[in-house]
Every structure is written in structure tokens, then in C-alpha cells.
Chains A and B, each alone.
Chain A
Amino acid sequence: MIRNYIKTAFRSLQKNKGFTTINVLGLALGLATCLLIVFYVVDELSYDKYNVNASRIYRVNEDLKLGDNKVQYAVCMAPLAQTLKNDFPDVENAVRLKRISGMHVTKGTESIIEDNVLFADPSVFDVFTLPVIYGDKKTALIEPNTVVITEAMAKKYFGRLNVVGENLIIDGNLQKPIKVTAVIKNIPEQSHFHADFLLSMSSYPDSRSTEWLRSDYNTYVLMRKGADYKKLEAQFPQFLRKYSGGQMQQELNMSYDTFEKNGSFFRLNMMPLTDIHLHSNLTVTGELGINGNIEYVYIFSAIAIFILLIACVNFMNLSTARSANRAREVGVRKVLGSARKHLMFQFLAESTMVTFIAVIIALAAAMLVLPAFNHFAGKNIVVNSHTLIWLAPSALIAILLIGFLAGLYPAFFLSAFNPMQVLKGKISAGFKGGALRSFLVVFQFSISIFLIIGTLVIYNQLHYIQNRDLGYNRNQVLIIEHAFELGDHAKTFKQEIKQLPGVTNATLSGYLPTTSNRSTGIFYKEAAVDPKRSLFPQIWSVDEDYISTLAMKIKSGRDFSAQMPSDSNAIVINEAAAKFLGFTDPVNKIIFRSSGGPNPTYKPYTIIGMVKDFNFSSLRDNISPVVMQLNADNSSLSIKVNTANIPALLSQIEAKWKDFTPVHFQYTFMDQDFDAMYRSEQRIGTIFIAFTTLAIVIACLGLFGLAAYAAEQRTKEIGIRKVLGASIATIAGMLSLDFIKLVCISILIASPIAWYLMQKWLQDFAYRIGIGWWVFAIAGVAALFIAFITISFQSIKAAIANPVTSLRSE
């Protein structure tokens, strides 16, 4: 019996090649898109799960509130890890990681800058899962000046894997040989931190610090099996008071009680390891890498579901529409003795079969475009046996579920026909179930219009972010990195560069709006430690050419000047800082810094100028207070250039660089760095647009099929109308009108929902656009236009057909 069904189904599909193609391809396209998003989402959700103990590992974060200043750190104090291990039996182990960027590793005569260098406690192997290929993980990181490297690094520096016992020269300044004690497997892509080199923590003197008021170390805790981290967290306030209270009294001359009474606090909290990638975004303050965002996971999951729904609705709509053509077959089968359940089964089997074909095509297509998608999304997703473990069953479930849902309506609807009526042709016209089909079309188009509006808003917001006046000029700024390699010659180097033709200005400072080089400090309004009258800004060390090189605007007062020796005690603040301090005109006001210790002295700083607010972190955030002071910071040299021939200028600068230091010359452009800051947003925008386009294409495929079907159903009517003298235009209009009405209803439904949700999304941005009416107008007109084009093709085709043939065929 099943063979008979399959045969009928297959031949019927073959007979209606056009429909079958639209149906199968539409579904396959939807499924493939959906699958890619699922890959993306699964990848995002799989971060750090490679750790066998992932569910028991927590990162300790720190919240600090000082007066009205609030900061969140992903790093903690140096002694915390060991103390937690000593004091709490629930803590099975703890490890500290400390990232040092821009370390030099020597290979032959070359000095290569490596960014993924971490100092780590020996317990890193007990907490995280880092399989050792060569060496002994128990002893690997105990001795000072030892390093564990990944297999990739072993190959890079030695050209082979077993390099235990070899020496590496790490960090150009020290020139100290570091012994390789173990080679580990590469850390998986899906890890919130990426380390190529794990240096023993004992090589880092600061790690023995006993300071409880300074946070520098990413600290991870492995809880004992069955222990509740909430219970541990509850003990933290007492714990902190115990250890930091004394130092606070000493350093700040303030008791822990007074500190807390002022409304300030110091809190530790635990973040599950697997939450870090998607839920933690403390980039400025100590994340080990760029994290993802759970919001995007939600948005993409929603899009995946939308696309799947649209594709399924298409499939259902077309199957149902087409199945009316098969009413006669149903009638015959019933007369031949088929029970209703046989017919239902037949239709379900058929739609399952089509779904099966579509799923196979979708899988193949998804695999095919995966490399391109990876490139787009900045991912490195691979399909392996691991993927198949969840993919195979889900594909099977998808086949059964979609097949069932899509076949459901025809199965119930058609199997209920009265055979005699069908065979007499009374229901053969049966474009019945029109209400359901209309509902489904409205549903589909509502989603499509929603996605169009969403895309427009997201695109505009991203455009706005990138073209907004940021308060500085990032164009034509060349950044020479690692200028500290020049040592004392940095200033000379800068002066010589400034002489070059094509160079307008140059400034030595690592504190740039586009880098993550940041430090913070406390200022007081009076010469006393009073958190209520304090400012907790970023403190940027700059030189006197900084503001002019970056074309920042002085709102009041003046810029630093080399001619004014007193400027060493001067500061320039941004508008946010002035606002925080409550100064309408801050120029010539004085604020203080404490020297710390039991009897602190206070150093006064005169505010000489206020710079217009400029953006230096994500535009999602408000601009926070910044204080600039004249201080030597040689991290990088930013050069404002004014020439079309950048390569020539670059080679000149490189020649100069070579005169000073053998270290590799490395540069970037500020606008590129800026783009990099928003790359994830960019990518999201691109992916979003791509998926929306696909969703609309799929919806249109469905509409195309339905329009074709409607036209076919009404062939006789069209014939009669033409004989009665209707023009092609009237007929095409008549056929299109039905669908256009539905699209109009969709616009009305989708617009308010889209408005509400996009408004919510925009709330996340400190700097955002408003949603104008024109967004809805464009979306509506676009949807109508696309729908009209799709339908009119079929309508006109039906309208220009010769009425004689259509009438005779009846």
C-alpha cells in the first residue's frame, strides 16, 4: 500500500514540476538558512563547554561603587584565588590568569609580537581542560621562567611538536630564556580566552602581591561537586571586610564601615564559566577576549524560527492549493473503497516525502555555503561527527514534524470530501479553505514586513553609529604600535617624524579612543578622602600634541602647551567629567589626588580646559568621565598624515624606526581600528540583511505559487470575462487585488509590532536614531511592490491566455 502511495505521490509531483520545484526549493531554502543560523547559535552556546568541569567553574567578578562612580571588573585581587582556596572547603581549586598583550617572542633573529600570552597558576590544568601532548602538567607551571605552549606555537617556533626542554626568548626587554615544560593542544575556538603561551605565574613578581585594593587578575574557581555557589557568594561580604578592611584603613585612612556607610561598596560575585561568552561584557575592565552577546543569539533564533515558519506556511499553502486539483483522485479512491484514514495517511506520507527531499537539499546547501557563512560571520564552524550527533536526529524530527504539519490540512480537508460531489466536479474548483490560506499569507507577509522594518532600523542605527560626529577625527591617523620599544628615544623619534613631509602632527600616547588601553584613578573635590565628593574617571596620559592631532574640540579653556611648565600639574577633562563634578565652567577649578597611605598628602590639579565629549567605547554606552594629564606614555605614536602617497610615507617612517630599534615595525590606521570595534555589529547587520532577504524571497516564492494556482483555478472565469469584453489590465488587476489586500493587512499588523520591538532594541544604545514614519512607508511600499511583481507575472499570463482554449477545456 505504501508503495502505491509513494508511486502516486512521486508521479503527481513529477507531473506538476513547477509547483514541486517551488515547493521543494522554497522549503529547502528556508531550512538551509535556518540550519546555518542553528549552527551559529549552537556555536555561540557551546563556548567553554569543552571544559570537563564547565558546570563547576565560575569566574569571580568585582563590582565597585565609589560615591556615584560605578565600575565592574572581570578581574580580582592578586591574593584572592589562594585565599578562597584556603578559607572555603567548597572551593576545590582556583586559578588566576593575567594577560599581557604585546609580548615579544624571538624566533631566530626575528622578534614576533604575540598577543595571546597569559600568566597562569599551575592549577590552570586542574580547573580548565587543557590536554597535554608532551610534558607533565603536574609540574609544568611551578618553576619561574617556564612556559607551556600550544601545538600551533610549537610548530611555529620549532617546526615540531615535542619541544619540552627547549628554550624560548620571551619579552624583548628581559632577553631571558624561558623553558618550555609542556605542549598542550590548541585551545578550542569556542573559549572565552585564547592562550598560545601560558607562562608560569611565579615568573610574574606582581602575582605575589598581597594588595586587596587593586584588581588585576582574572580569577576562576572550581567548586566541589554538589556545592552551591550561591552559598559561597553569600559569604563574600564578610570575607572581603576581613581581608580588605585593614588595608583600606591603611591606604585610604578610612574604615570599612565608613566606606560602606557612604554608599560605596566592594562586591565579589560569581559568574558561571559558560555564561561568560554571552552574558559578560566588561571589555574595558579586564575581559580576556571579545565576547558575544546573548541578544544576538535571541535575535537570530527568532529569525530562524520566522524563516522556518514562512517556509512551512508556503509549503502548506501550496500543498493545500494544489491538493484541490487532486480532489478527483480522492473521490475515485473513496469509491474504490479507500477508508478516510488511508487517504490521510497518503497525504501525510506524500508531504513527508517532499520534506525529506527538501531536508536533504537543505543539508547539502548549508554545507556548501558554510565556508562563506563563516567568513561573513567571523566564525569557524566545522561540521564533524560531533555535529551529526545532534544534527541527524533533529533533521529526522524536522522531516516528520514539517511533513506532518504541511500534510495535515490537505489530509483532513480532502479526505472529508463527498466522493460523488467531487466526481461530478462540484468541488473540483475547490479553492476552498481560502480563509485559512489568506490567514497564512497574511502571517507570512507580516513576518516579512516585520523583518524589512527591523533591517531598516538596524541598518540605519549602524550607519548612524559609524557616521556620527565622534568628537575626534579618526581619518588619516596612522598609529605606530609598540613605540615603547624606542625607550628614551620615543620623543626624538616623534620629533623626527613630525619633520617628514606629509605629516601634520603626531602624539605619543597609548590612550586612544580606539584602543583598550585604559586606566582609572580617583580624584576628590576637596583635599580629603570623601567618596561622596569624588570622581572616578579614566585617566589618560597624553602629550601636548594629543588633542590637536586627534582634532578634538576644546569647549572652554585651552589645550596643554609645551610653553607652560606649570602644565605638568594641569588636567584637561571632558564634558562628562565636568558634569559629574557639578562644574558648569570647570576651567581653573582645582581637584585633588590622594597619595594613599595612613597620612595621605593631596596633590592639587588645575583644570585648564574642557574638551567636547568624544566617544571612546562602544556607542551602546554613555560617555564616561575622562581626565587627561601630561604624562609620558610611549605605548604608541599616532600620526596625522596629509598625503595621498601613504606607502611612500610609511616606508620613510619604517626606515626611521629601523634607525632606533630592531623590533618589528607595526602599524594600523585609526579608522580601521574603529571599524574593528564595530565589526561584530557590522557582521550582525550584514547577516541580518542577508537573512531578511532570504525570508522575503521565500515568502515571495510562496506567493508566486499561490498566485499561479489562483489564476489556474479561475481560468474559466477569466475566459468568460474576456469573452464578455474585459481587458487584460482589468483581469490582471482583479487577480492581483485579492493578494494585495492581504499584503495591506500584513502591513497594518506588522508595523506596530515592529515599532515596539525595534524601539526596545534601540534602548540599548546610548546614541540612537528615532524610528521615522518613512521606515514603515518604505517597508510597506517595498512589500507591496515585491508582492505585486510576483503576482502580476501570473495574473498577466492568465489574462492574455486565449479564452477559447480555457472555456473548451471545461
Chain B
Amino acid sequence: MLSLQHISKFYQVGGTRNFVINDISLEVEAGEFISIMGPSGSGKSTLLNIIGMLDEPSSGYHYFVGETVHQLKDKQRSALYKKYIGFVFQAYHLIDELTVYENIETPLIYQDFKSTERKAMVADMLDRFQIVGKKDLFPAQLSGGQQQLVGIARALIAGPKLLLADEPTGNLNSKQGEEIMQLFKKLNKEDGVTIIQVTHSEKNAEYGSRIINLLDGRIESSKQL
């Protein structure tokens, strides 16, 4: 599904290159659940952003669902991204001015779904996450766990093949975190969504099928569970 070959990301500082990602090659098959770990500054988030096409590598080759990403134009990349990828953030990043319902609906608007279709899809998603009762609340009225639930619902609404999560439980207490991880596992198993998550937690990492350890921009180890 996804293939990174010799991907590097660096910043030119004076005469020297500061590598954030240093020659990483990675293959991801559909249906995998990968956890990326590593200390702060090891390049986890940057790698995730490159996979999610929100950031561009300085060099290397990037293939995704058969497309040569590094050769695509911005627009095509954006179209590809819209169609296949969903994003979950540590800080949830819900739009404060929109209700739960509207937040979940927003990606559909950008993908030009018709109003009736949107209604059905959002209703379905609210039902599935059991947050129907909260659909008219604003993010500020929800707990952190609930907000992240909405964030995941929003990421999944358009039916992505790949879910990227940047420390999705980082702002949650352990119980809420566990619920989210259970949800991820279920999504991966039952719906076949490929998941790549960045995490600090050893325990959360073990929900995945593979753990990749980064250090100073390189893959230090990779372990199949």
C-alpha cells in the first residue's frame, strides 16, 4: 500500500545539513497496524507527516496506493490524501465554533458529498461511536476522551484506507487512552483500516502489529508482534 525508499528530510543550517529523517525506507502493507516509537526529536512526527503528505521529504521516493507521490503536483496529492487518509491529533484539533455533528461533517463538505448523503453518513458514524446524544454540543463541552472520539469519527467519516494518528492518547488519562486503543484495534481488525500511530507509550504500542523504533532520524529497530 505504501512504500518509502531512501526518504530524507533535512534543514540546511549554515554549511551543514541537519537531518530530521535520514535515509528511511519503509514498506507498509494494507491491514497493518504500525506503532512508531522513539525519543523526542527522533523524527516520529515528521515521518508521519511525510506519510500523510502534509510534509514533503527533501529526497527519496514515495509510493502510495500505486501512485508515485513524489512526482505528483500539489493538487493531485491533495486529492489522493483526501480520498485515502484520515488524521487524528494529540490535541484533537476540533473546530471550536462547530458542533460535534458539524465537525464530523466537515471533511465530507470538502469532498463534495451531497447534503442528504452527508446526513446519513454522519448519523451512521455518530451511532457507531455512540455519541448521538452529544451531536449538538460544542467541543468545549466535552471531556478529552470524548473530543478524541469525535476527532477519530471525523478522521473516519470519509472512509479512509489509512489512519494516521500522532500520539492520539497523549492528552488522555490511561482509561480514556485504553478505550481509544481498543477502538483502533477494532477498526484495524474489523474494518481493515491500516493504522500508523506515533506513541510514547510502550503499552499502547503493543496494540499494533509492528513496532518501529526511531533514533536520530533513522530506523533503529523494527519488531513484528
Contact = CB atoms under 8 A, between A and B. Distances in A.
Nearest to B164: A335
A423 B151 CA distance: 14
A335 B158 CA distance: 13
B87 A15 contact: no
Contact of A337 (B96, B98, B107): B107
Nearest to A328: B93
B55 A1 contact: no
A799 B49 CA distance: 39
B109 A1 contact: yes
B55 A420 contact: yes
B97 interface: yes
B94 A420 contact: no
A336 B94 contact: no
Given A331-B93, A420-B49, A423-B89, A336 B98 contact: no
Interface in A770-798: none
B87 A12 contact: no
B110 interface: yes
A11 B98 contact: yes
A342 B94 CA distance: 18
A419 B54 contact: yes
A329 interface: yes
Closest CB pairs A-B (n = 10)? A11-B97, A337-B82, A337-B110, A336-B107, A332-B93, A12-B97, A8-B97, A338-B110, A420-B54, A1-B109
Nearest to B138: A11
Nearest to B155: A336
25 contacts: A1-B109, A4-B98, A4-B105, A4-B106, A7-B98, A8-B97, A8-B98, A11-B97, A329-B96, A329-B97, A332-B94, A333-B106, A335-B54, A335-B93, A336-B87, A336-B154, A337-B78, A337-B107, A337-B110, A338-B110, A339-B78, A339-B110, A419-B54, A420-B49, A420-B54
Contacts of B64: none
Contacts of B95: 8, 329, 332-333
A8 B96 CA distance: 9
Contacts of A8: 95, 97-98
A445 B106 CA distance: 42
Contacts of A11: 97-98
A420 B198 CA distance: 15
Contacts of A337: 78, 81-82, 107, 110-111, 158
Nearest to B78: A339
Interface string A318-359: 000000000011011101111100100000000000000000
A225 to B, nearest CB: 59
A809 to B, nearest CB: 14
B66 to A, nearest CB: 20
Among A11, A328, A331, A332: residue with most chain B CB under 10 A: A332
Contacts of B96: 15, 329
A338 B81 CA distance: 11
Contacts of A331: 93
Given A11-B97, A420-B54, 6 more contacts: A4-B109, A7-B97, A337-B78, A337-B111, A339-B78, A423-B93
B178 interface: no
A339 B87 CA distance: 16
Contacts of A1: 109
A536 to B, nearest CB: 78
A300 B91 CA distance: 54
Interface in A1-15: 1, 4, 7-8, 11-12, 15
Do most interface residues of chain A lie in helix, strand or loop, or is the interface mixed?
helix
Nearest to B154: A336
B85 to A, nearest CB: 9
Contacts of A12: 97
Nearest to B52: A335
A332 B105 CA distance: 13
A9 to B, nearest CB: 8
A338 B49 CA distance: 17
A662 B213 CA distance: 116
B55 A342 contact: no
A749 to B, nearest CB: 39
B23 interface: no
Interface in A413-434: 419-420, 423
B32 interface: no
B216 interface: no
Interface in A382-397: none
Contacts of B154: 336
A7 B138 CA distance: 13
Nearest to B46: A420
Contact of B110 (A7, A336, A420): A336
A328 B94 CA distance: 9
Among A328, A342, A420: residue with most chain B CB under 10 A: A420
A391 B54 CA distance: 48
Contact of A342 (B91, B98, B110): B110
Interface string B89-118: 101011111100010011101110000000
A419 B110 CA distance: 16
Contacts of A15: 96-97
A419 B93 CA distance: 11
B16 to A, nearest CB: 22
Contacts of B97: 7-8, 11-12, 15, 329
B102 A7 contact: yes
A337 B54 CA distance: 11
B167 to A, nearest CB: 12
A466 to B, nearest CB: 58
A332 B96 CA distance: 11
Interface string B74-91: 000010011000010101
Nearest to A10: B97
Contacts of A338: 110
A423 B94 CA distance: 11
B95 to A, nearest CB: 5
A332 B111 CA distance: 15
Contacts of A7: 97-98, 102
A339 B105 CA distance: 16
A337 to B, nearest CB: 4
Nearest to B111: A337
Contacts of B49: 420
